[in-house]
Structure 1
Amino acid sequence: MSTNNDLNHSLILTVLLLIAFATKSEESKQIPALYVFGDSLVDSGNNHYVPGEDPQNFFPYGIDFGTPTGRCTNGKTVADFLAIYLGLPFAPAYLGLSRSKRKKIVTTGINYASAGSGILPDTSNKTSVIMDEQIKGFERTIKEILPKGLSKEAVEKHVSESLFLVSSGVNDHFKNGTFGGSRKFASYLIKEFKIRLLKLYSLGARKFFVNNVPPAGCFPSITLHSKPIGKCSEKMNKRISFYNKKLLILLHELQTQLPGFIFVHSDLNKSIMEISENPNKYGIVEASKPCCPGNINGNDLCANRNTYLFFDDHPTERVNQIYAKKCFIHHAICTPRINIRRFL
């Protein structure tokens, strides 16, 4: 029964997003592609192709896809819902593109994100693709894949009109498993993030969709060890806010300084906090315990994924759906409050 409910909610929101897409497509041209960079919140399976153990390639991850996909949740990520809204197919994992596929032109976007990665090179472990390498993957795309079917001028136009989703930063706050957020660290991290955005800009990217850092103090791995159990770490969330405040300032500065640079700032942190603080409003019954506890064998999965905020330490598909509705339809957590499709 719970599976049917999960599917119904997914279908309803998907229909809403497609209706919104159809309506907006009459007003403007379609964004041609979605390129995704970041960590486990948006990874679509790149880590499957990196040496090392990847639990996301096993059940129950991907249960609502019918098979594990490498995504760190039961179903769709926020990147997937953004693709639906834009009327695009899900961006395939870059490392999952076979040689034959890489020989063909891929013009609707690619996902370079890798679970466990961060903005800083030393944040990532051996089973992650650091952000610098993700960006190099995109550079290879525009130099080797896109030119197979597009002229140099067409590639430049394609890249300038495409949307670049960047979602990273939470793992940087947990070096060697220990939380280390501070005002000084936030300043350092934002400078490093700026370098990566400037690199993408130098490669032709102009339209950015940037997630801020989610409230890690509310992750089950934290709250299940707090006193009382289930209570978010306000100290941790406050330190993350140091970075998030600087992020929005940075985006405005870049828009002022760089010709053609435009952005949508996605307040993923606010979306998760609102659900955590008022779960009943969103039909969430369990806001602190994970649906999928760690080290499980597939038998410990919660009965109704649709009522959980977290799948493990990552949002469930249902919570990603709620986020999508807030951002793409109600424009409540994404600024400026314009429709993404009006970028063109």
Structure 2
Amino acid sequence: MAFCSSFLSLKLPFIKLFLLLATVRGGVGQSYTSVFSFGDSLADTGNTFFINKSCQCLFPPYGETYFQHPTGRCSDGLLVIDFIAESLGLPFLQPYLGINNRSNATSIQEGVNFAVVGATALDVAFFEERGIYNVATNYSLRVQLDWFKQILPSLCNTSSKCNDMFERSVFVMGEIGGNDYNYPFFLLRSIQEIRTFVPLVIQAIASAIKELIDLGAVTLMVPGNLPIGCSAAYLTYYETADKEEYDSETGCLTWLNKFSEYHNDQLQKELTRIQALHPRTNIIYADYYNAAMRFYRSPTQFGFIGGTHTACCGGGGPYNYNASAECGSNPLVRACDDPSQYVSWDGMHLTEAAYRLIAEAIIPQNVTAGYSYYYTSK
């Protein structure tokens, strides 16, 4: 959820597992031939390159693990959306703005990514009305949805073709909403005020989902928010000597994680309501929060011997995060030798290793390994 100056549950009792990958590899039912992604820096695969040339994610050492060069992804390598596409046998998603800026764009039939670093669910006017002026971009969820509508004629030109495409597509709605809270939290606005944003953020996400359903979408994945109380940036901004503020098991800030849980709980309730109105639609809740909490609770079990809260790439401090010396924005800021040993890449975003574990947790083929975080409220 980078700002380019950054990062950014409770299960309902009647949720059942939706075997998405089984339909692809097990030969059961429908196969998926495309993925369309919306969101922020947790999902952006390069749109920021065409928006903000100074974004830190466009400079080394970003991308060093997988691509060996920056790609606009705010990590050392792949993101969850990359692993989702890979698991479906599809190529990495092309950024929408990259397609528009290439005269000989390759096929978009297998998917397009509309996510933008720093994006919010709500429009920038909402924040400005409340005196919050640090919002880095106005490429909100509404703008991203409009982009999808603009490209739709290039994807299908008849009702039957569009229906077939939609039936064989997975729409990944986020992660989105984290920056709606990050911007005011990093201005140290009160949690009481920020809690009032949650229903509006959920409403914006729900509105986009319903609009896609009206267009014909059949399968939608909606990720929840990560545990922000565990991020190096939040731990730095809200560092306190009061030990009661921290979870004794994980070292995370309890009150911030409860906020993430509140957002996720409200999101799931809304998804359940939408699902009841659209029984022929598969609405999937991807539980990023609990998938991530596994390695905050047991880091060495997952190979994170470098720590869960210390950033691999940062400018110093207790958590190796310094807003004045961020990874990529200062050539003197170096990355650790082995990012795979760290959960946090730059204090705001996770490493490829952490994203891989989240992806494995939400992909149903791994249910047999004991992971069960990929749900539909159907």
Per the shorter chain, which TM-score range? 0.7 to 0.9
Structure 2 distance, partners of 1:107, 1:181, is 43
Amino acid at match of 2:119: S
Residue 13 of structure 2 corresponds to which residue in structure 1?
none
Contact 1:174/1:180 (8 A) holds in 2? no
CA-to-aligned-CA distance 1:103-125 (integer Å, 9 cap, x gap)? x6521000000010111112683
Rounded to whole Å, the distance in 2 between the matches of 1:46 and 1:311 is 20
Aligned ranges for residues 35-184 of structure 1 at < 5 Å? Answer: 35-51=36-52, 53-64=54-65, 65-97=67-99, 98-101=101-104, 105-122=107-124, 125-127=135-137, 129-143=139-153, 145-147=154-156, 151-166=158-173, 167-176=175-184, 177-178=186-187, 181-182=191-192, 183-184=195-196
* Corresponding residue SS for 2:213: helix
Q: Summarize the Cα distance change of 1:133–1:194 in structure 2 as closer, same or farther, 3 Å threshold.
A: same
Residue 327 of structure 1: how far off its partner (Å): 1.7
Identity of paired residues, percent?
Answer: 25
1:238-277 → structure 2 map (5 Å cutoff): 238-277=258-297
Equivalent position to 1:232, from 252, 259, 272: 252
> Residues 160 and 181 of structure 1: is their aligned pair in 2 closer, same or farther, counting only changes over 3 Å?
farther
Aligned partners of 2:27, 2:166: CA distance in 1, in Å? 22
The correspondence for 1:197, drawn from 209, 213, 219, is: 209
CA drift at 1:84? 0.8
Partner residue, 1:218: 230
What residue is the counterpart of 1:24 in the other structure?
A: 25
Q: Considering only aligned residues, what root-mean-square deviation do their CA atoms show, in Å? A: 2.5
Q: How far does residue 35 in structure 1 lie from its aligned partner after superposition?
A: 0.3
Shift in Å, 1:127: 4.0
Which of 315, 320, 323 pairs up with 2:355? 320
- CA distance in 1: counterparts of 2:177 and 2:150, whole angstroms: 24
SS across alignment from 1:253: helix
| Matched residue SS, 1:87 | coil
Shift of 1:201: 1.8
TM-score, with structure 2 as normaliser: 0.77
Quick one: which of 283, 293, 297 aligns to 2:331? Answer: 297
Cα offsets for 1:263-318 (capped at 9, x unmatched): 22111111222211221111112111111112441651101111000101111000
Q: Would you say the 8 A contact 2:167–2:217 is kept in 1? A: yes
CA separation of 1:23 and 1:264: change in aligned 2, threshold 3 A = closer
Distance 2:59 2:205 in 1: 32
**1:128/1:77 CA distance change after superposition, 3 Å:** farther
Higher relative contact order (CA 8 A, sep 6+): 2
C-alpha distance in 2, partners of 1:207/1:66?
Answer: 34
What is the TM-score when the length of structure 1 is the normalising length? 0.84
Q: 2:17 matched to which residue of 1?
A: none
C-alpha contact (below 8 Å) 1:50/1:128 kept by paired residues: no
Aligned structure 1 segments of 4 or more residues deviating by more than 4 angstroms: 20-23, 179-183
Alpha-carbon distance in 1 for matches of 2:240, 2:122: 32
Residue 174 of structure 1: CA displacement? Answer: 2.5
Question: Which blocks of at least 5 consecutive residues in structure 1 are unaligned?
Answer: 1-19, 339-344
Gaps of 5+ in 2: 1-20, 128-133, 315-325
- Report the CA distance shift for 1:238/1:260 in structure 2 as closer, same or farther (over 3 A): same
Determine the C-alpha separation between the residues in 2 that align with 1:194 and 1:267. Answer: 17
What whole-Å deviation, never above 9, does each CA across 1:10-54 have from its counterpart, x for those lacking one? xxxxxxxxxx77982433442010000001101101011014521
